[in-house]
Amino acid sequence: MPLRFRAPAEGDQQTPDLSKRAHLRFFVLAFPNNLYAAAFAAAFMVSWLTLPMWRSWAQRTGLVDDPGLRKIHTTPIPLAGGFAVFSGLLIPVLTGFAAVCMQWIPAGSLSPLTLGLQRRSIQLAAILCGALGMLALGWIDDRHELSARHKFVGQCLIATLVASSGLRITLFVPSLLFSYAITILWILTLTNAFNFMDNMNGLCAGLAAISALSFASAAASRGQYLVTVIALLACGSLVGFLPHNFPRATAFLGDAGSHLSGFLMSILAILPHFYSSKNPDIWAVLQPLFILAVPLLDLVSVVVIRWRAGKPVYLGDNNHFSHRLTRCGFSKTSAVLWLWLLASAISALGLAL
């Protein structure tokens, strides 16, 4: 972040006008930092500002989470978070596209992004369609409580759409069938892992925001501008929602929001080139496992507990990390904060390695 200021040479006579201009030259962000800051700020503001509108809409349409046996709230809470997060993603993208088309932003100033946009235009369209699909699937589940089978089929269709766009995991195995299978499995796993983590105020959104920021850092360090922007849009949208959800919730993510969050994190784990000719360390492909360690380990632990108890793995219970921390004496807010801290520490370790 360079300070663009030239100190006057000895003997220079600095006019008042030049002095004024010098004082107006603060820390100026150069590309790509200006783009990164704009992406995060725009997503944050849109998500934060649109949430009250979506909350009002959810209340009018009856899209609320009523109190229940395993619920920690005592009054109906609107399930509006997913729509605010999606707005934080979509509106800045559409606004930026319109600004370039209307020449409000010179196209040449974004030239470093051109190659990435050209190469990944089909994949980006698939990501947006997949995000909208996960949002819709979660919304239907929020309204009508879909069966596990119907949700699984919907998730598979969306994951297959993304994989067919060319956005796939290979793990160095030269098999198209394997690539499709592992990609679909990965998207399903992360989508459901974050869906499972949506059990306390701020937990799912906070963990997703930490993961998105970590993926942004990983991509930025490799000069992958487009991936970094996408990750910061996701991070900003989630952080913009958090003030409405933590520590006291006036809105929940709902299945719409948790499906969307998990889907976005699964995509952000696939998009960066962790292994390349410039970065030939084969172990770098393990970075996503560090970044997503907390939701993945929580998923594995509850599945094992339910399987050993002879219960369906998709049947909710109170055996998640957050619930176990509260049984150890932590408050719900403290449990969430400790899990955020743990996720941040493991992510930092993964990025450092």
The pLDDT, as a whole number, for residue 119 is 72
Backbone angles phi, psi at 147, to 5 degrees: -70, 160
pTM (two decimals):
0.87
Helices 33-61 and 81-101 cross at an angle (nearest 10°) of 130
The pLDDT, as a whole number, for residue 33 is 86
Range(s) of the domain holding residue 224: 29-352
The pLDDT, as a whole number, for residue 334 is 97
Backbone angles phi, psi at 64, to 5 degrees: -135, 160
Residue 72 lies in a domain: yes
* Residues 211/346, Cβ–Cβ less than 8 Å: no
Q: Comparing C-alpha atoms, which of 207, 217, 297 is closest to residue 257?
A: 207
Residue 13 lies in a domain: no
Residue 262 lies in a domain: yes
* Residues 32/228, Cβ–Cβ less than 8 Å: yes
Residue 129 lies in a domain: yes
Residue 70 lies in a domain: yes
Domain count, the chain: 1
The pLDDT, as a whole number, for residue 7 is 38
Residue 154 lies in a domain: yes
Q: What is the pLDDT along the chain (353 residues), one digit of tens a residue?
A: 333 333 344 344 444 444 444 443 434 567 788 889 999 999 999 999 999 999 999 999 999 988 766 566 568 899 999 999 999 999 998 887 777 667 666 655 566 665 566 677 888 899 999 999 999 999 999 999 899 999 999 999 999 999 999 999 988 888 999 999 999 999 999 999 999 999 999 999 999 999 999 999 999 988 888 899 999 999 999 999 999 999 999 999 999 999 999 999 999 999 876 655 566 566 777 899 999 999 999 999 999 999 998 888 888 888 999 999 999 999 999 999 999 999 999 999 999 87
Q: Comparing C-alpha atoms, which of 32, 43, 56 is closest to residue 264?
A: 43
The pLDDT, as a whole number, for residue 11 is 41
Residue 18 lies in a domain: no
Residue 16 lies in a domain: no
Residue showing tokens 């952000």: 268
